[in-house]
Amino acid sequence: MSTERLLYHVWLSPFSRKVILVLGEKKLVYKGILEKVWERRPDFYALNCAGQVPVLVEEDGTVIADSTVIVEYLEEVYPAINLLGKTPAERAEARRIAAWFDLKFNKEVTANLLDEKVFRRLFNKGTPNSAALRAGAMNITYHLDYIAYLVERRRWLAGDELTIADLTAAAHLSALDYLGNVPWEQHELVKEWYSRVKSRPSFRPLLQERMPALAPVPHYADLDF
Amino acid sequence: MSTERLLYHVWLSPFSRKVILVLGEKKLVYKGILEKVWERRPDFYALNCAGQVPVLVEEDGTVIADSTVIVEYLEEVYPAINLLGKTPAERAEARRIAAWFDLKFNKEVTANLLDEKVFRRLFNKGTPNSAALRAGAMNITYHLDYIAYLVERRRWLAGDELTIADLTAAAHLSALDYLGNVPWEQHELVKEWYSRVKSRPSFRPLLQERMPALAPVPHYADLDF
């Protein structure tokens, strides 16, 4: 058994990125393990029979799978730095927006762009579907409008404090930004909010991540993009 | 403003059903409001801009959207009857299995059967896709095997007590059972577990639900099926 906290993750996975951000914000030390999920490694399926990253293994051997479940677990066990909010209603709002990005944005945007461009090939499912790429590129603009609507009214997406809502949205956007798929120029308010998230120390591992044979767009790691 | 707790839901929605079960288990009184989401009613979008059911409106006007968010909220505000588990690790296991059904089972089974047979027409998206129906009918068997694997080892899906894991799995299965899409005969252990969930008083509203012009299979509401 390891005596370190382990995080199984993969390049550009927004769900892995969300947990990396949460661990960073909470200042929890871990060792990252790159898990190429498309290789369907039996030892990894023994850890998480869903076969998906991220998976967190605590120092005592506790295994936690599913990014949202990991976040709830970390909030319960390491509450000193609160990323959900103070009241049940505040937490519901942070969770609602996080679910918006993990479900709705993921289905309408991330799956159409990132999954098509990057993961389809790795899973041996052929070449990108051009209708999906067009749909993803169209859909992202209305989600960016929604972020703009929120940050016109609030300092962070769910209220006065940074929460899992910001980290989840930024996790998805950062993976798409690596590919150059975020039209920042038409969305100044969103860009201002994203540059605040991007400047946080918790974001550094994401900006340093490089997928083999797929370089990011030039502005990807610039804090002043 | 209403002085009652309101639940916006729709027939056969597994996500609505999960919240109906949780409200029932916690003995929380509410008024159900049938929301035909495909009509895209502006007043409903004002409540939940994602346009999806379920939405819970508390007596004080607090609006909570997304079934998983509603469950976390109800657990925090009404903890007397605990549906998540006692320790962080137990709660992580209950949440993991709930997420399995809401994400993986939903994508591989519910979307291929229920969405194709019932919701596609309501959303004016044409007739059922026969490849999807075949995929759903094939996929359900391996998920039933997974439930059997769990209940061979545990009294309830996540451990010794009934949790949101059981209620989420049963919410999906009950909607598919209405359509006659659950092959119970090949899965005796699963049937035994399901009949225990089905016998709970919280299940009655589901067994009484009837969608207009779509009768359930004859055994649907039988406790001895």
Cβ–Cβ under 8 Å, residues B71 and B22: yes
In the predicted model, what is the mean pLDDT of residues A139-161?
97
Q: Which chain A residue has its CA at the smallest distance from B61's CA?
A: A89
Distance CA B188, CA A103 (A): 33
pLDDT tens-digit readout, B54-94: 999 999 999 999 999 999 999 999 999 999 999 999 999 99
CB–CB of B65 and A96 under 8 A? Answer: yes
> Is the Cβ of A158 closer than 8 Å to some Cβ of chain B?
no
Query: Which structure tokens are listed for A121?
Result: 């090939």
For residues B1 and A175, which has the higher predicted lDDT (pLDDT)?
A175
> Is the Cβ of A18 closer than 8 Å to some Cβ of chain B?
no
Distance CA B11, CA B29 (A): 19
> The tokens 């001895």 sit on which residue?
B224
Q: Which chain B residue has its CA at the smallest distance from A88's CA?
A: B73
Which residues does chain B have within 8 Å of residue A95's beta carbon, measured at their own beta carbons? 66, 68-69, 72
Which residues does chain A have within 8 Å of residue B54's beta carbon, measured at their own beta carbons? none
Cβ–Cβ under 8 Å, residues A55 and A8: yes
A65, A66, A88 member nearest B73 (Cβ):
A88
Cβ–Cβ under 8 Å, residues B192 and B184: no
Q: Which residues, other chains included, contact B171 with Cβ-Cβ below 8 Å and sequence gap of 6+?
A: B14, B15, B17, B18, B21, B101, B206
Burial category of B136 from C-beta neighbours within 10 Å (exposed 0-12, middle 13-18, buried 19 and up): buried
CB–CB of B95 and A62 under 8 A? Answer: no
pLDDT value at residue B1: 58
Neighbours of B156 (CB within 10 A): 18
Residue-averaged pLDDT of chain A = 96
pLDDT band, residue B3 (cuts 50/70/90):
confident
Which residues does chain B have within 8 Å of residue A88's beta carbon, measured at their own beta carbons? 73, 76-77
CB–CB of B88 and A65 under 8 A? Answer: no
Distance CA B38, CA B15 (A): 16
Distance CA B121, CA B38 (A): 10
Distance CA B146, CA A136 (A): 34
* Chain mean position to CA B98: 10
Distance from CA of A224 to the nearest CA of B (A): 32
pLDDT tens-digit readout, A85-143: 999 999 999 999 999 999 999 999 999 999 999 999 889 889 999 999 999 999 999 99
Distance from CA of B115 to the nearest CA of A (A): 16
In the predicted model, what is the mean pLDDT of residues B174-180?
98
Domains, chain A, ordered by start:
6-77 (3.40.30.10), 88-208 (1.20.1050.10)
Asked if omega into A54 is within 30° of 0 (cis), the reply is yes
| ipTM reported for the complex, 2 dp | 0.94
CB–CB of A92 and B49 under 8 A? Answer: no
CB–CB of B50 and A146 under 8 A? Answer: no
pLDDT value at residue A1: 58
Best CA proximity match to B63, nearest among B2, B111, B113: B2
Q: Which of B63, B77, B93, B96 to mutate to test the interface with A (most CBs of A within 10 A)?
A: B96
pLDDT value at residue A121: 87
B76, B77, B92 member nearest A73 (Cβ):
B92
Distance CA B225, CA B198 (A): 10
Cβ–Cβ under 8 Å, residues A8 and A53: yes
CB–CB of A146 and B65 under 8 A? Answer: no
Burial category of A128 from C-beta neighbours within 10 Å (exposed 0-12, middle 13-18, buried 19 and up): middle
Q: Which residues, other chains included, contact A127 with Cβ-Cβ below 8 Å and sequence gap of 6+?
A: A120, A121
Which residue type is seen at A74?
Answer: L
> Is the Cβ of A96 closer than 8 Å to some Cβ of chain B?
yes
pLDDT tens-digit readout, A37-78: 999 999 999 999 999 999 999 999 999 999 999 999 999 999
Q: Does the pLDDT at position A2 exceed 70?
A: no
Best CA proximity match to B73, nearest among B55, B90, B88, B87: B55
pLDDT value at residue B2: 64
Alpha-carbon dihedral of residues B77, B78, B81, B86, nearest 10 degrees?
A: 10
